[in-house]
Amino acid sequence: MRGGGLLVAGTTSDAGKSVVTAGICRWLVRQGVKVAPFKGQNMSLNSFVTREGAEIGRAQAMQAQAARVEPTALMNPVLLKPGSDRSSQVVLMGKPVGELSARGYHGGRQQELFEPVLACLEELRGMYDAVICEGAGSPAEINLRRTDIVNMGIARAAKLPVVVVGDIDRGGVFAQFFGTTALLSPEDQSLVAGYLVNKFRGDVTLLEPGLDMLHGLTGRRTFGVLPYAHGLGIDEEDGLRVSLRGTVRESVVAPPVGADVLRVAVCAVPLMSNFTDVDALAAEPGVVVRFVDRPEELVDADLVVVPGTRGTVKALAWLRERGLADALTRRAAEGRPVLGICGGFQALGERIEDDVESKAGVVDGLGLLPVRVRFGVEKTLARPVGEALGERVEGYEIHHGVAEVLGGDAFLDGCRVGSVWGTHWHGSLESDGFRRAFLREVAAAAGRRFVPAPDTSFGALREEQLDRLGDLIEEHADTDALLRLIERGAPAGLPFVPPGAP
């Protein structure tokens, strides 16, 4: 039997589509509905490796966790990983198939992918009671409608009702809802069932007259007003969408009385990928994580993390231009902790030979670890399990660089020299025992009295966050109406003519 479905679109990027989709998935699974997430095309440097070795957007992996199902490539058949402002690596069904410019992708390749994307959606609908689809950007990007495979294109082909999410915290949400709907063709308008207000602060009764007027203007209702929720920490899709200056990820739990706070500085390298690696550090009571881009911001850091990046050579040049490379070298000489993850690990090595990603040839690394890296055409996609510091560690690998470790102490797939550590493994810090052991080493090297909490479970915290998303939907949305939409899986609205239109 073909399952029901719903497309969660947004008036803008970062309107809250990912978290609303996750919230609906968690609410549905708590009702006994077998549900799966889906996003036909995702653009993100924040990705994940499934158990079958496929690379998908990390947001879809998070949504699968919300639905309590194992993520698969079917849930995100097309992933675009930007390498510059004008080109991206295209990942199809979890495997890279080439690099394309934006013009080349929208000029023809995207249309070729429509049938495979639709086939993935239909396969999921045959496996699950409901599939909650997430759109991308805005469905009213009329310059791209002809080649659309993720918003109204997929909604029309699969006959999915559409709920449009708007971020009221940014202001102008009524104009966003009205304008988004007005710009759609009558055929696309007929699929728009209504709206969902996100990130509302204040007294909802003050908003209700506007919602009534919006209904009068568009003929469409609002399915709920979701309040602004602090401290969710759910995986973001397209990178840090706020200015890095002052961006802090801080534990909401205070450290024990008399214990030191541990300060972590993350170098905000260009094309930063999988920055969510540090979320597990921020989950620890008494750990403060900051994203930084100046050498003076490393002075009081107890740990500096050089994170993953889609452009290792570009990140190296940036570190040198900013003076951060010299600051990292001084830290290493002083025995102060530095951790490199994936591209950050490669940057800490002696030499990089890259004729694949940057095509820069041989480039000197920072020389802090005895490692030489050669970029290969084939991408490593893996879910390794190992041991470090006497603790079991799980992670995932996503990289073209092949590291030759020439010395130091073994550390996962990389090495350690003094207080400088490097590994390709993303997600390793989510392993609770290993994270605590690592932080004890960092605290000792930094001369801090910091003691990790013995019972912090990152997995349990993530489940609590996903339950909070489910609660937002259950408590603040018209769930009966949403369920009817999902079950019908058919056009739900009528075209409208904006006032003053010809």
Distances (CA, A) of 226 to 167, 168, 382, 442: 10, 10, 37, 40
Joined tokens for residue 401: 């660089």
Please enumerate in sequence order all residues whose Cβ is within 8 A of that of 382, keeping only pairs 6 or more positions apart, or say none: 49, 53, 396, 397
Of 286, 244, 233, 251, residue with least CA distance to 266: 244
Please give the C-alpha separations between residue 36 and each of 22, 26, 72, 167, in angstroms, as whole numbers. Answer: 10, 10, 10, 24
Handedness of CA 311, 313, 315, 321 (dihedral sign): negative
3-state secondary structure of 27: helix
Asked if 5 and 132 count as a contact pair (C-beta separation under 8 A), the reply is yes
Q: Which of 25, 120, 342, 415 is catalytic?
A: 342
Nearest in space to 83 (alpha carbons), one of 109, 45, 137: 45
391: helix, coil or strand? Answer: strand
Q: CA-to-CA distance for 387 and 384, rounded, in angstroms? A: 10
Closest C-alpha among 160, 195, 191, 158 to residue 179: 195
Euclidean distance between CA atoms 478 and 224, whole angstroms: 6
Q: For the chain, percent helix, then strand, then coil, each to nearest 5?
A: 35, 30, 35
Pairwise CA distance, residues 58 & 18, whole Å: 10
Phi/psi at 36 (nearest 5 deg)? -140, 150
The β-bridge partners of 419 are: none
- Looking only at the bridges linking them, the beta strands covering 391-394 and 385-388 are antiparallel
Whether the Cβ atoms of residue 7 and residue 486 lie closer than 8 Å to each other: no
342 is catalytic: yes
Residue with tokens 């570009």: 314
Which helix or strand (DSSP H or E) is residue 127 part of? helix 114-127
Q: Choose, from 399, 400, 424, 426, the residue flagged as catalytic.
A: 426
Question: Amino acid identity, residue 363?
Answer: V
DSSP track, 134-186: E--S-TT-GGGGGG-SSSHHHHHHHT--EEEEEEGGGS-HHHHHHHHHHHS-H
Alpha-carbon distances of 262 from 54, 304, 444, rounded to whole Å:
35, 11, 11
Residues with a catalytic annotation lie at: 342, 426
